[in-house]
Structure 1
Amino acid sequence: MSKVIKPIAIYLPQFHPIQENNEWWGNGFTEWTNVTKAKPIFKDHYQPHLPADLGFYDLRLEESRIAQEALAKANGIYGFCYYHYWFNGKRVLEEPLDRKIKNAKEDFPFMMCWANENWTRIWNGGDTDLLLQQDYSEEDDLNHIQVLISYFKDNRYIKVNGKPMFIIYRPKLFPNIKKTIMLWREAVKKAGFPDLYIGFAETNEYFNGIINDGFDFSFDFQPNFSNRPATLHDSVIKRYFHEFLKTLKIPFLNKYHLIYDYEEYARMQMATPFKQKSFPCITPMWDNSARRKKNYFILHNSTPQKYKIWLQHIINNYKWVNMPEPFLFINAWNEWAEGNHLEPCQKWGTGYLDATKEALNNNNKKV
């Protein structure tokens, strides 16, 4: 029996001001603050990434969220996976999703991924000052799952055979993730669901959790920082940096300043076998130099056509029949400060959305 591929795009809700960001980064800070400050750091470097069709939106506005959903639907996206932030009962950046929940006009399917890292200043190229800390406990697990269940009960929430689908970004940070999953499964069943369909982001630090810790699935988080080609050759980088060599205040070719060719990177991913119980994932582009002043990671020279080739490979070669639903994760819908977005930009317009729709339609969306 054929299945219709269901792309789920990772969704960042940080495009509106909140009290915490005002205190840490200055009044009015949103993700757009980093995006608009970005500058190219070598010749032909695509920065800044600036929005086109949807503009510099504020996610508190119904009009902005509805416009996103309409654009996603029109281009074959099945749903959004919202990053969820929880720190021992304290929630951050929850307002866009909470407003959606209350608005029947926003009918786009959604699910959640708990971004369970500490919040520090390091992501913005600063020091390691701790802003919000994760403290794991059984009590917190029980409190947390009750809040999650309130979202699971929404009829727009993505489920697999009636089971709410939920992702933990970094399971390795838990003292006993297996126990947490057991507690959560019990609570979800008591709430009337058949079970929880729980997964994790498969990164270079965590590969074998499905068997050992009771997960149902993983997804192949992209970019996969442990599976990458050599950096651009020395002579090529020197050409890109030619006009800047004398002004650089950092050691040239510092090992943390990693620049890769997107096509070579994609070719390496396509040569890597798919894993069992792991949903595929793709990134249209990646460049987090807008967010990080150092230790950035750049996939250079991405184009919609190169992305489409990788996407078509996944559609044609992944064993969709082995999974209960044909989910394809795309990282991301709107990670603008990581140069990682399907949303239209001033350089490519709707090119990446067009490529997504075309690749799906090439197979009549059936696998």
Structure 2
Amino acid sequence: MADKIKAIAIHLPQFHPIAENNEWWGNGFTEWTNVSKAKPLFKDHYQPHLPADLGFYDLRLEEARLAQEALAKTKGIHGFCYYHYWFNGKRILEKPVNGKLKNPKEDLPFMLCWANENWTRVWDGGEKNILLNQEYSLEDDKAHIQELINYFKDDRYIKVNGKPMFIVYRPRLFPNLKETVALWREEVKKAGFPDIYLGFARTFEYKDAVSKDGFDFAFTFQPNFETRPDTLKESQVTRYFYELSRRLKLPFKNKYDLVYDYAAYRDLQIQLGFEEDTYPTVTPMWDNTARRRVNYFVLHDSTPEKYKKWLTHVAEKYPWKKMPEPFLFINAWNEWAEGNHLEPCQKWGTQYLDATQEVINKD
């Protein structure tokens, strides 16, 4: 095991109203809107996921952000990786991180991951019902990296050998990726850094070798939607949705084939092993039925102990010495509408965080 694993929890900043969401979804919309409306869809289905210790917070408030950081530090989390949104100069959901920049009391290390996909009404970054569109150009790449350098200069920003660490979520969408990477490196060096430590999310759509397009590392995005165990096809889950679709006169179709057992999924991911130049990732749970009526993905019957087994395997078996830093990503800190959170909920309290702390602090 590494001397001291540095756990980085992915952080969603969509827990405060913004003008765009008010227009698209109704006044006052935040991530809590979908969370609070969720219903259990079958026997023993854990929904809704409702917050406990931190409550229904508003990330515009310093008190809410400080409470998150205090809890994370208490439980051994090294830092947050905030999703970052940039649409040709337009920023959204930037208030939590910008508030942090202005507040020295918020001292938890942080980094950014650019969620570089279209915003759509179906929450999947697809091409239908587009609300905000991503367009790419080297001119925009230059403006973007110059904006990012303002964050990189912060002493709390996570760096590797002086290089600010930055992740691109969907590199396949870039028309000239190598040119973008070269430009970013040039601009970062002009700003006084030795370079940028640039990574991407290794997913079903982009699994190329790290160095192919000029990246330094990857992290395995979890859940891995491509590699899944058998579904619970013969359970009450399928029967319920068949009856529901019949009553609503909807086609009984779901490309993710409904629901998977968390332990079976975990064991399959363990069997896959580790990719070269790729930081490992685990997910404590996943259930995005709060956001989606179709094409959802559910990891059913997760428990802190089942999660701890996966985390322990990664901590003990990952070849930490092959990477410059012992980073372990956890997806996620607070993806509540995807049923995916380390933050305490009313069912489990702090048990997922307690399990994380026990594994990371183990001698």
Q: TM-score range by the shorter chain?
A: over 0.9
3-state SS in 1 of match to 2:105: coil
After TM superposition, give the deviation of residue 248 of structure 1 in Å: 6.0
Question: Matched residues in 2 for 1:254 and 1:296: separation?
Answer: 8
After TM superposition, give the deviation of residue 237 of structure 1 in Å: 3.5
AA of the residue aligned to 2:72: A
Which residue of structure 1 lines up, in the alignment, with residue 56 of structure 2?
A: 56
Which residue of structure 2 lines up, in the alignment, with residue 68 of structure 1?
A: 68
The answer to whether the 8 Å contact 1:304/1:351 transfers is: yes
- Equivalences for 1:296-311 in 2 at 5 Å? 296-311=296-311
Q: Using a 3 Å threshold, how does the CA distance of structure 1 residues 134 and 222 change in structure 2: closer, same or farther?
A: same
Q: 1:194 and 2:210 equivalent?
A: no
Question: Matched residues in 1 for 2:38 and 2:335: separation?
Answer: 14
Question: Matched residues in 2 for 1:207 and 1:162: separation?
Answer: 27
- TM-score for the superposition, normalised by structure 1: 0.95
3-state SS in 2 of match to 1:142: helix
Question: Matched residues in 1 for 2:40 and 2:7: separation?
Answer: 31
* Offset from partner CA, 1:241-268 (integer Å, 9 cap, x none): 6996875654457444421000000000
AA of the residue aligned to 2:166: F
Q: Using a 3 Å threshold, how does the CA distance of structure 1 residues 75 and 53 change in structure 2: closer, same or farther?
A: same
- Equivalences for 1:200-211 in 2 at 5 Å? 200-211=200-211
3-state SS in 1 of match to 2:123: helix
Question: Matched residues in 1 for 2:127 and 2:168: separation?
Answer: 26
After TM superposition, give the deviation of residue 138 of structure 1 in Å: 0.8
Which residue of structure 1 lines up, in the alignment, with residue 135 of structure 2?
A: 135
3-state SS in 2 of match to 1:78: strand
The answer to whether the 8 Å contact 2:11/2:81 transfers is: yes
Q: Using a 3 Å threshold, how does the CA distance of structure 1 residues 126 and 56 change in structure 2: closer, same or farther?
A: farther
Which residue of structure 2 lines up, in the alignment, with residue 158 of structure 1?
A: 158
After TM superposition, give the deviation of residue 238 of structure 1 in Å: 5.0
Identity percentage over the alignment? Answer: 70
* Offset from partner CA, 1:316-352 (integer Å, 9 cap, x none): 1000000000000000000000000000001111110
Q: 1:312 and 2:312 equivalent?
A: yes
The answer to whether the 8 Å contact 2:54/2:344 transfers is: yes
Which stretch shifts more, 63-72 or 234-243? 234-243
Which residue of structure 1 lines up, in the alignment, with residue 293 of structure 2?
A: 293
* Offset from partner CA, 1:212-265 (integer Å, 9 cap, x none): 101000000000011111111414535776996875654457444421000000
CA RMSD of aligned residues (A): 2.0
Question: Matched residues in 1 for 2:181 and 2:274: separation?
Answer: 25
Segments ≥4 residues shifted beyond 3 Å:
124-127, 235-257
Question: Matched residues in 2 for 1:121 and 1:200: separation?
Answer: 25
Which residue of structure 2 lines up, in the alignment, with residue 230 of structure 1?
A: 230
- TM-score for the superposition, normalised by structure 2: 0.96
AA of the residue aligned to 2:36: T
Question: Matched residues in 2 for 1:3 and 1:133: separation?
Answer: 43
Any unmatched runs of 5+ in structure 2? none
- Equivalences for 1:255-266 in 2 at 5 Å? 255-266=255-266
Question: Matched residues in 2 for 1:255 and 1:152: separation?
Answer: 40
- Equivalences for 1:209-224 in 2 at 5 Å? 209-224=209-224
Question: Matched residues in 2 for 1:105 and 1:287: separation?
Answer: 34
- Equivalences for 1:1-367 in 2 at 5 Å? 3-123=3-123, 128-235=128-235, 237-238=237-238, 247=247, 249-252=249-252, 254-361=254-361, 363-364=362-363
3-state SS in 1 of match to 2:272: coil
Q: Using a 3 Å threshold, how does the CA distance of structure 1 residues 55 and 102 change in structure 2: closer, same or farther?
A: same
